[in-house]
A and B are shown apart, each in its own frame.
Chain A
Amino acid sequence: MRQAIEVRHLLIRLGKAEIIGDLSLDIPQGSIVALLGPSGTGKTTLVKAVMGMNPIRSGSIRVFDKPVPSFAAVSEIGYMAQTDALYEDISALDNLLFFGNLSGVKGKAARERAVELLDFTDLLADRDKQVRKFSSGMKRRLSLAIALINDPKLLILDEPTVGIDPLLRRKFRDQFIRLKQKGCTIFMTTHVMDEAMSCDEVLLMRAGGIIANGSPDTLMRDSKSDNLEAAFLYYISLSERKALS
């Protein structure tokens, strides 16, 4: 299977602190992968590195076999950051059109795509409303819509469901599945176990490294846990034991 993301021996330092050390991973195309780990383990740093927004000290990242950083790689990715990152003074449609235009989607195509996505995220009725007046859920949906405006093959979501209600979270999951069905690869960070459960694969991350990976079922089975949280704790103690020995 072709890899959507290929990370090899990645080392990232921000200032003097080593955030990510010798990290390697593969995200297979067409899968939904969750990067699970507590806050401050370097999830966002890793994601940003894939986006080409963090300096790579050593190692390499490839997106659809294109080196990172490059415009070619960036063009394949739809990115949704932790923050909504919306222009609140302009309308939802204008936000979409703006990022669409920047991504090279232009004119009528851009508008059609924007309307399609607004429909997809259930915002069509509010398309001309100033984003300032949106609820946080609507903003989150719009943010997702923007991430999809360039019809990316890889969707990177940094904590997509932080601070949203269970109903919307359910809706998001449904949408991710629909995207996956269209052949989109989804790579998301989360610290919500529940969310990770619905993914094809989970990467357990701690202190700048991947301590375990596999499908939620495999991870739970291998750790003899009945939930992902317990499995996570198991792998943490395992990695600490490894480090000691």
Chain B
Amino acid sequence: MNLVPPDVNYYSMLPFITVLLTAVFATILPFYVSRKAIAGLSAVGLLVALAASIGLWNTNLSSFYGAYRADNFALGFGIVLIVGALIAVISSVDVAKRGGTMQAEFFAILLYAVSGTMLLASAHDLIVLLIGFEVMSLGVYVLSSFKETSNSEEAGLKYFLLGSFASAILIFGIALVFGATGKFGLEAINTAVLSPEFKNSSIAAVGALFILIGFSFKVAMAPFHQWTPDVYTGAPTVVTQFMSVAVKAAAFAGFLHIFGLALQNVSGWQTPLQFLIALTLMIGNLSALRQSNLKRMLAYSSVAHAGYVGLAVLASPSQGFSSALYYLGIYTLMNAGAFAVLNVLSKDEDGLEIESLAGLGSSKPLLAATLTFFLLSLAGIPPLGGFIGKYLIFSAAASSGYYGLVILAALTSAVSLAYYLRPIGLMYFRPRVTVLPDFSGRSTRVLLLVCAAGVLILGLVPNAVYGLLELVKK
């Protein structure tokens, strides 16, 4: 018998392996070293993975016969995911100050989840993609119930039950697509669909719909967003921060890959997706308007942002991929930044009332200024990064002819101003009523400034990064 060695290229998996190894060390080492050291180790591991991702840029290596690819798309998303995880690690250091220690296992589980997200972004095969999806989900289920409070436990359980249900639907969809085409590879599926003897188009369409539902759940698109506000509010703030950026970004990476590479010629999912996006934009923005808790408001705002990125899934892959990546990169900086400010200002994991921000502009100028920056960027006010991101997505969708949705997105993002501007108005234009705690350490303050600078730079000289993103296009 002829033994064929499997096609394994370790270089291509360097960022992934680094994160995984760090996770393994973070699992074992807590018996011997302090919690702070683990946090430091995690940060270093993530930085090495970041460097590795940058080093692999443009090399287009692949492994396992193309099932795992370190192409620019995967690396770009990998960088966004690592940055999101780094922000969460740094923010978690402050949590200790309000008495709620994060056990050291937190970092291990976080890193396992990050490795799952990276696998999801690099997968070019439905099975690998599913493994990444599940590794990520399992990690996040645990993380969201990490606090021993009833809220957090409820959040974890709710997320787990609904999430498993969504995973089941996704697996069912994958099975149907496999049944219709006989392939797992993304490009192979597309080739099978395009071949003249393809007859199972209706099975493939049903499979695509199931996959659509599975992913809509993970990225929190209405009406599959119902878990989001409860889970985001109940989970510890740092976990919410991680979920709202990294999990969303990774899920969108998979979403874009499946629908942009494998199923773009399968009909039947485009119209439902348009409805989902329209509903998401309206429900996300209108519900955020009514929130009085900042954490909950940011949770609904992240639902709304899923709607904007959803537009990129509809657009043609050549524009959709790069604009979604750019948007999610900026979104990671601004949303995680906003959550970092929320984290250091709240006395427990329940977040804080928006009203209590009054007068923060004079009492905590740095926190208020950076939060203002992030909120303005989330609202899409030029010249900050959020505007450029929105613009790229809108123009990608418009060039594919989805005009009505773009107009709706523009109108709803005007509505979003009302809730993004209100905290700013309170912070600067009202006298102080409540005294908020301030748990920010030096590392967090540096982090906030770096995020704010990133948001500004990505807005002012988008070319510096968007030029690179051109390479993401197929």
Q: Do A and B bind each other?
A: no
